Amino acid sequence: MANGSPTAPGISFPRQTFAKLTPGPFLHAHLKQQEPIRASGRSPEDFRKPNINTGSLTHSNGSAVVRVGDTAIVCGVRAEILLASDIPHPPRDDLHEDDLVEDLGLLVPNLELSTGCSPAHLPGSAPGTLAQSLSYRILSLINASNLVRPSDLAVLYTEPQTEDDTPAEEASKVTKAYWTLYIDILCIALDGNPFDAAWAAVIAALQNTLLPKAWWDPDREAVLCSPLAADARQLQLNDVPIASTFAVFSTASPLKRRNEFDSWILADPDSFEEDLCKESLTIVVASKKASCGGILRLEKTGGSVIGKVSMQQCVRMAEDRWSEWKAVMGG
Amino acid sequence: MQADRRRINAPSGGTAPPIFATPKDTPLRRPTRTRKPDEHRKLFLRTGVVPSASGSAYYEIPLQSPQQPELLVPSSSSLKITCSVHGPRPLPRNAAFSPNLLLTTHVKFAPFATRNRRGYMRDAGERDLGMHLETALRGVIIGERWPKSGCEVVITVLEGEEDGWWGDAGGQEGGRAGGWGMMGVLAGCITVASAALVDAGIDCVDMVSGGVAALVQDGQDGTKVGGEAKIILDPSPSEHQNIRAGCVVGYLQSRDEVTEMWMKGDAGTQVEALVDEAVKAASLTRTVLAEAVREAMGLKMGKASEEATGGLKEDKGKKKDVVMTG
C-alpha cells in the first residue's frame, strides 16, 4: 500500500462464490492446471454415466427415461392411425421407400423444455428458440438415419378377387393406413447437453415400442386393432445411432491478440460450462457398415477452434461413447 | 386442429387413436377394489429430483391391481407427478410492489399421460387444477416474509388417473358428474407441491397434504343398480362403476385446518362424513410426506456437515480447490 506495507494475504472464498461471481476465470483456473480438470471434478474427456429405464409409462406404446448426470429426460411414443384416404397429397409412385416416412410425416418428435426443468425454462410461454431448434434437429436426424422402415408402419389390405380378375392373377395389396408415431420428449431436469440425452431417449423409446396388430375391416371401413399382447410386434430399428456433444472453452477475447489464447475441448458439457462456451460440436455415430465409416452427422457451430486434428480426436471419443451407450441400451 | 407453428405437427391428414376390437377368447376383467374402505394405496415420494431448481419432488402411486398381461390395453394406470419449485425470486422490474410472496402455480399433463393423447397447450381442466392447487398452498405459505418476490410451482403429471374403466360404455365419463381422475390428481399435486416447498426452504406454517374420498354405490356383479352407498378413501376410479360424489381436501394436520376443499357430485346427507373421510386420507398421506422430508433433510445435513469438515469423499470426481489469480 502507500507506506510500503507487505501485500495483504489472499482472501479465500468458498467455491460457489467464485463460481457465481466470475464463472469464466473459475473454470479457466481449473483447466489450466497440469492435469486439467473441470469445475465438477470430471476430466475434459469424461462423459457422464448414462442410466436408462424403459417401459415405465402405461399409456404409451413405448417409453424411456434417460438420466445423464443431473439431466433427466422422459420420452413417450404414442401410435395413432392415419388413413391413406385422408392424406391430402398422396406420395408419388416413384418416391424411394426410404423417403416415404419423411414425406408423409409419420414420425412426429417434439421436445418440451418449458417444464420447470431449470430456472431459465419456466412454463407459460410458447417454445423458445432452443426448444424449437432441438425439436427440429431431432426430426432431421430421424429422417436422415432411416430408423424405421415404412413397411413396418403400413397397414396392408389384400383386396378380394372379383369376378373380373383372372384366377391366376395375384391379389393386390393396398396400403389402407399408416401408423403415425408421436414421439413426445419432456425434459424433467436440465443440467446441460439436452440433445444427447433426448436423442438417446428417442432411440430407447422407439426400441421399446409395441405396435398392435392392425387390419382393415371392409364392412366398417375402418382400421381395427387387436388388444392382445401376443399379436403385437416390437418395432425394429434399422440402426442405433448415438449423439455426442462437445463444447469448446477458450480464453480468446477481443482485447487480446488473435492467436494468443488457450482452448480446451470439454465432452458432455453441463449447464455451467455451456453458458461459458460459444463453440460446440455434435457427432452422431452409427454402426460401421461395409462401405461407410459410421459417422452419420457432424455439426459444428460457434467458432473455429476445432481443427482437423482435434476433430479426429473427438470422433474417436464419440465412437467410444457409442459403444458405451450401446451396452447400456442392450444392443 | 390448428397447426402450431412452433412445434412439429401431425401429418396433415389428421390421425385418430386406434380402435380395439373385443377379443373373442379373452374376457375383459374389470379391476375391483381389494383394500379396506379406509386403506390408502402405497405411496412413493422423493425430494431433490431436479437439482437446478430451488426445490423439487416426485410422487408416485404404483399399479396396484394385477394387470391382465395378455392384454395390450392397460386396465388401470398409476399416478406419477413431478414438481419443481423456483423461488423465492425477485419480481421483474416493471411488476407492481407486492408485500407478500407472489405464488404462481402451473399444472400440465404430459401428452402421454392419459389414454387419449393430450396436446401441448394447457386446457381449461389443467388451469382449474392450477387454481385449486394455488388455493391449497396459499393457506400454508408465510407470504409476509418475502415481499417483492415471486415463487413458481410447476407440476408435470407424467401419468394421470382415469375417470373410469375403459371397458365401460362411455367409460371415459364414469358416473354422473365425471372427472373423478382429476380429483385424485389434485390430491397428489397438493402433497408433492408441499414436499417440494419444504425442499426449497420456503417458510410454511405446516405441511399441507392432499386427501381424496368418494361416495360409491356399486351394484353386485358389475351392475349399476342395487348396492348400498359407502364412503371410501383414496378411490381408484377404474375400480367402481358408479361414483356418486367425491371430495378432495388440502389439510394441515398439526393445526387441524383445511386450506382447500373441492367437492363434486351429489352426496346427499353424507356431506360431512365424506369430508371427514377425505381428511383421514390426508392424514395418511402426511405420514409418508413427513417420512420423505425427514429422510431428505437427514441427507442434506449429512452433506453439509461433511463439507464443513472438509472431507468430500465422492467418488464421482473430487472437486479440488484452485488458486484464482488476478
* Residue-level pLDDT at B268: 87
Does the distance separating the beta carbons of B17 and A188 come in below 8 Å? no
Pick the CATH number of A55-234 from 3.40.50.150, 3.40.640.10, 2.40.50.140, 3.30.230.70: 3.30.230.70
Distance from CA of B212 to the nearest CA of A (A): 23
Does the distance separating the beta carbons of B322 and A41 come in below 8 Å? no
* Residue-level pLDDT at A234: 92
Distance from CA of A54 to the nearest CA of B (A): 14
Does the distance separating the beta carbons of B9 and A108 come in below 8 Å? yes
Residue B174: band (very low, low, confident or very high) from pLDDT cuts 50, 70, 90: very low
Cβ within 8 Å of B, A 139-158: 139
Is B26 part of a structural domain of the chain? no
Distance from CA of B216 to the nearest CA of A (A): 26
* Residue-level pLDDT at B255: 93
Does the distance separating the beta carbons of A58 and B78 come in below 8 Å? yes
Distances (CA, A) of A26 to A97, A144, B212, B311: 53, 40, 51, 21
Q: Which residues of B touch A21 (CB under 8 A)?
A: none
Contact yes or no for B282/B211 (Cβ under 8 A): yes
What class has domain A24-46+242-329? alpha beta
Find all residues with CB under 8 Å of A209, minimum gap 6, and list them. A61, A62, A77, A79, A181, A234, A235
Nearest to B79 by CA among B92, B98, B61, B63: B61
Is B32 part of a structural domain of the chain? no
Please name the member of B6, B12, B156 whose beta carbon is closest to the beta carbon of A132. Answer: B6
CA nearest to B108 within chain A: A115
Contact yes or no for A296/A241 (Cβ under 8 A): yes
B232-273 tens-digit pLDDT: 999 888 888 888 999 999 999 999 999 999 999 988 899 999
* Residue-level pLDDT at B311: 47
Of residues B18 and A13, more confidence is placed in B18
Residue A6: band (very low, low, confident or very high) from pLDDT cuts 50, 70, 90: low
How many CB contacts within 8 angstroms connect chain A with chain B?
Answer: 205
Considering just the CA atoms, what is the radius of gyration of chain A in Å? 25
Is B61 part of a structural domain of the chain? yes
Tell me the residue type at B260: E
Domain count, chain B: 1
Does the distance separating the beta carbons of A104 and B50 come in below 8 Å? no
Q: Which residues of B touch A231 (CB under 8 A)?
A: 72
Is B312 part of a structural domain of the chain? no
CATH code of the domain containing B73: 3.30.230.70
Is B13 part of a structural domain of the chain? no
Residue B2 has pLDDT above 60, yes or no: no
**Cell 391449497 -> residue:** B136
Range of the domain at B129: 44-306
Contact of B152 with chain A, judged by CB distance below 8 Å, is answered with yes
Contact of B112 with chain A, judged by CB distance below 8 Å, is answered with yes
A263-316 tens-digit pLDDT: 999 999 999 999 999 999 999 998 876 556 689 999 999 988 888 999 999 999
Lowest-pLDDT range of B73-77, B151-155, B205-209? B73-77
Is B270 part of a structural domain of the chain? yes
Contact yes or no for A86/A178 (Cβ under 8 A): no
Angle, alpha carbons A183-B154-B96 (nearest 5°): 130
Q: What string of DSSP letters covers B201-217?
A: T--BSS-EEEEEEEEE-
A66-120 tens-digit pLDDT: 999 999 999 999 999 999 888 888 888 777 877 888 888 899 999 999 999 999 9
* Residue-level pLDDT at A283: 95
Contact of A29 with chain B, judged by CB distance below 8 Å, is answered with yes
Does the distance separating the beta carbons of A180 and B15 come in below 8 Å? yes
Does the distance separating the beta carbons of A110 and B20 come in below 8 Å? no
Q: Where in chain A is the domain with CATH 3.30.230.70?
A: 24-46+242-329, 55-234
Residue B224 has pLDDT above 60, yes or no: no
> A123: which 3 cell numbers?
412454463
Distances (CA, A) of B30 to A38, A279, B66, B219: 56, 57, 11, 13
A124-147 tens-digit pLDDT: 888 889 999 999 999 999 999 888
